Structures are given as C-alpha cells and as structure tokens.
Amino acid sequence: MWARSRAVAYGGAARIVGLLGVSTFMPRWAVAKIRDVQAVHDREGVAGVQSIVTRRMKRWIFREQPTDDYGIDAQLEIVDGEVVTGKLIGLQIKSGVSYFRKQAEGGWWFYLDPDDLDYWLKHSLPVLVILYDESRDEAFWQYVDEKVLVATKQRKGKPAGRKLLIPEAQILGQDSMLKLAEVAAGDAYELRIRRLRLALPWINLLRTGRRILLEADEWVNKTSGRGDLSVVSVDDANEDRQALGKWTVLAGYRRYEEVLPQLVPWAYVTVHEETYDEADHEAYEAEEGRYDKEDDTVYYAQSFEDWHEFRRQDELRPYGNSAGEVDHWRLELKLNQLGEAFLLVDEFAEGDTPLLAPEVS
C-alpha cells in the first residue's frame, strides 16, 4: 500500500514523495493546493459584514480578529455619538448558501458545535452568530444565550445537541443598533446587579443621613415623553444642596408616577415634603381665597386642613407647571428592603472570607 503522498516545494515544480522514496516531478500548476471552499465563503462573509458596519452603522467600529477560525472572527465596538464606549461584541460570521438551507419559521436553524457553544457562553464578551447572504448583501444575527438555545434529538448516529434560530427579521444595520447596544451592555441579570453597584454611592449617602431628591421636568406636550432629570443631595434641614448628576429620559406614553420609581428600585419614592407643602398652600390660596376690598381681607371657603384632606397628599404628582408645557416633580428617596439588603451583599462581597459553593460544570 502506498502511504499518502506529500507535496514538497521544489523550485518551479513540485516533488511527489511516496513511501518507497521514489520521486517524480510535475509542474506546480498540476498540484496546486485546494483551498477549503467554506473558508473562502467565510472570508467573504467577514468582508461583507465589515462593509455593512462601515456603510450602515454610523461610526461603530469593526475589528477583525487575527486568529483564524478560533471561535471569534471579529469584534464590534459600540460608538455613542462621538464617544467610543469600549463596549464590545464578539462576532462569529458564516457565509454560503448551505447555511440558508436549514429553514425554520421566521429564519434559519444554525446547528452548534458543542465546543464552540461552550467557548461562546463562557466568553468575556457577548457573542453573536451572523449569517451573511452575499446575494442580498444582508447579514442576519442572533445573540448566543441560554434563553434562545433549542435542544436537538439524537439522529443517524449523531449525538443530541443544540441549535440556534437566526431570525430573518434581525438584519444587521442601523435598525439593529439599539438592540445590539443592549446586548453589549451585558447579560440582563448582570446588568441589573451592575446598576445597583453604580447606585452604591447614593445608597451610602442615605445611610449616613443625607437626603436624596429626584427632580424631573416633564415636557407634557411631547409624545416622546421627554423629561430632564437631576439627582441632588441635601442635608437633614433641606440645605447644603449638592448635585449628583443629570440625565434625559424618553418615557413615551408611560406615566411619570410609574416611570420615576422604576429608575430607583432600591428606594421608596415619596413627594418631597417641604416642596409639596409649600405648593399645596399656594394652590389652596389660589383656589379657596376670596379677597374682600372693603375690609382688605382674604376669606377662605374652608380651612386648609379640610381642603387638603381631599387631596391625596402621598400620591406621586408634579408640584407645579410652567406655561402649560412642563410639569415639575421633586421626589425624595428613602432606602427600601432591596437597598438595605444590597448594602449587606456589598459588605460581604468586599470581604475575603472563603465560602463553599458547587463547582460550575
């Protein structure tokens, strides 16, 4: 039996060496190396996706990875306006008609290699599988996440595994930028924990006796639900005002009395007593006061206490309005059970005592 021959470069020709050492010569063109057809398609896919990012995704940054076929072909970096955020997504890019043959309702099935899947799920970056259709110059994506994986049955000697639906509606481009920015932010569970950690300075201020106010100017006639938010800290006497930050929120048609508490899940949200007491007295005088010119006296139809009794003083509401355009809110934050519990979790996490836990398989 002949062993598999090997091609060895030899000047302008190639020498074929067999098991017995007998060699013959033939022109180089006769033994040209056959390149992996799928590798060619995948290279075309990488170039195609890079072109889409450059042309359709504003200033987002595409970085091809130098290591061939090691599970991540490229990285996509999110750019927010002029700010390069440092938030990255790993991309595994596949191209060729074979990937579009396994059709499913609303897209295509992508069957996952167990080793690749394990690598992607454990990767430090969120990972997308992208199918590039050269004929349409379109790329379709799906985030590799346990929640969207589907188990496959054992068949024809192949072991059971998992597959991923690549939706036809998830087209890489400008319309997908918002969703991809959310993916880049990280796992939803980890993201919520991270946001609690970011709120720790405020939580600690409350623990030390400072008061924290959430102020909002709600543009009531805008369908975007736009609001300009600020968070400030004051001392117990409602003095020594210190700004902690400003933001803009777009709440759509959602009511601010629902939206604002959801932004600070670690706190009870109440009206700021001093502000609303003053505003209520002004409203009472405007509504109930009647001026008598003859004796130069203002008379009231009912007492402030009786008038105030019919107003839901604990209900979250704006304390004023400017020109019928902007509602003004000033709410006070007080630690709730979640905030108190997270302080305990943080105190524990800052320690160095060992703990027993099951191993991750």
Residue 330: other Cβ atoms inside 10 A: 19
The one-letter amino acid code at 304 reads F
The residue-averaged pLDDT of 59-74 equals 80
Region 110-134: what's the mean pLDDT? 92
Predicted local distance difference test score (pLDDT) of residue 259: 93
Query: What confidence score (pLDDT) does residue 22 get?
Result: 38
Maximum average pLDDT range among 112-116, 150-154, 192-196, 234-238 = 234-238
Residue 343: closest CA among 289, 273, 248, 267: 267
60-74, 196-210, 220-234: the lowest-pLDDT one? 60-74
Tell me: pLDDT of 23 over 50: no
Q: In this predicted model, what pLDDT tens digit does every residue of 265-301 receive, in sequence order?
A: 999 999 999 999 898 888 888 888 888 888 888 888 8
**What single-letter amino acid sits at 220?**
V
Q: Which residue has the higher pLDDT, 66 or 36?
A: 66
Model pLDDT, residue 43: 81
pLDDT, greater one: 158 or 324: 324
Which range among 3-17, 55-69, 156-170 shows the weakest confidence by mean pLDDT? 3-17
Pair 74, 50: CB distance under 8 Å: yes
Mean pLDDT value across the chain = 84
Pairing state of beta strands 326-335 and 320-322?
Answer: antiparallel
Please tell me the predicted confidence (pLDDT) of residue 357: 83
Q: Quick one: which of 20, 17, 1 has its CA closest to 9?
A: 17
pLDDT given for residue 187 in this prediction: 73
Place 38 in a pLDDT band, splitting at 50, 70 and 90. Answer: low
Comparison of pLDDT for 229 and 190, the residue scoring more? 229
**pLDDT exceeds cutoff 80 at 37:** no
Cβ–Cβ < 8 Å for 308, 236:
no
**Interval 2-25 mean pLDDT:** 37
pLDDT tier for residue 83 given thresholds of 50, 70 and 90: confident
Enter the tokens of residue 245.
């930050």
The yes-or-no verdict on residue 98 having pLDDT over 50 is yes
SS (H, E, C) the chain: CCCCCEEEEECCEEEEECCCCCEEEEEHHHHCCCCCHHHHHHHHHHHHHHHHHHHHCCCCEEEECCCCCCCCCEEEEEEECCEEEEEEEEEEEEECHHHHCCEECCEEEEEECHHHHHHHHHCCCCEEEEEEECCCCEEEEEECCHHHEEECCCECCECCCEEEEEECCCECCHHHHHHHHHHHHCCHHHHHHHHHHHCHHHHHHHHCCCEEEEEEEEECCCCCCEEEEEEEEECCCCCCCEEEEEEEEECCCCCHHHHHHHHCCCEEEEECHHHHHHHHHHHHHHHHEEEECCCCEEEECCCHHHHHHCCCCCCCCCCEEECCCEEEEEEEEEECHHHHHHHHHHHHHCCCCCCCCCCCC
With cut-offs at 50, 70 and 90, classify the pLDDT of residue 325: very high
Question: What is the pLDDT, as a whole number, of residue 39?
Answer: 65
Give pLDDT, residue 139: 97
Residue 162 has pLDDT above 70, yes or no: yes
The answer on pLDDT for 31 being more than 50 is no
Q: What is the pLDDT of residue 71?
A: 81
Half-sphere exposure of 54 (CA within 13 A, CB side): 8
Tokens of 222: 């805008």
Residue 28: the pLDDT is 41
How many other C-beta atoms are found inside a 10 Å radius of the C-beta of residue 48?
20
Question: Of 71 and 348, which is predicted with more confidence?
Answer: 348
Contact call for residues 323 and 219 (beta carbons, < 8 A): no
Evaluate the CA torsion angle 75, 78, 82, 86 in order and state its sign. negative
- With a cut of 80, say whether residue 106 has pLDDT above it: yes
At 8 the pLDDT is 37
Q: What torsion do the CA atoms of 246, 249, 255, 261 make, to the nearest 10 degrees? A: -50
pLDDT at 168 over 70: yes
Strand pairing category for 83-95 and 127-133: parallel
Predicted pLDDT at 190: 79
**What pTM, to 2 d.p., does this model score?**
0.58
The HSE-up count of residue 73 (CA atoms within 13 Å, CB side) is 20
Domain annotation for the chain: domains and CATH numbers:
37-186 (3.40.1350), 193-346 (no CATH)
- CA 86 to centroid of chain Cα atoms: 13
Is the confidence at residue 152, as pLDDT, over 60?
yes
- Mean pLDDT over residues 320-345, rounded? 96
Q: How many residues does the chain have?
A: 361
Residue pointed to by tokens 């509606």: 169
Please report where in the chains the tokens 């799920």 appear, as a residue: 121
Mean pLDDT for 80-106 is 90
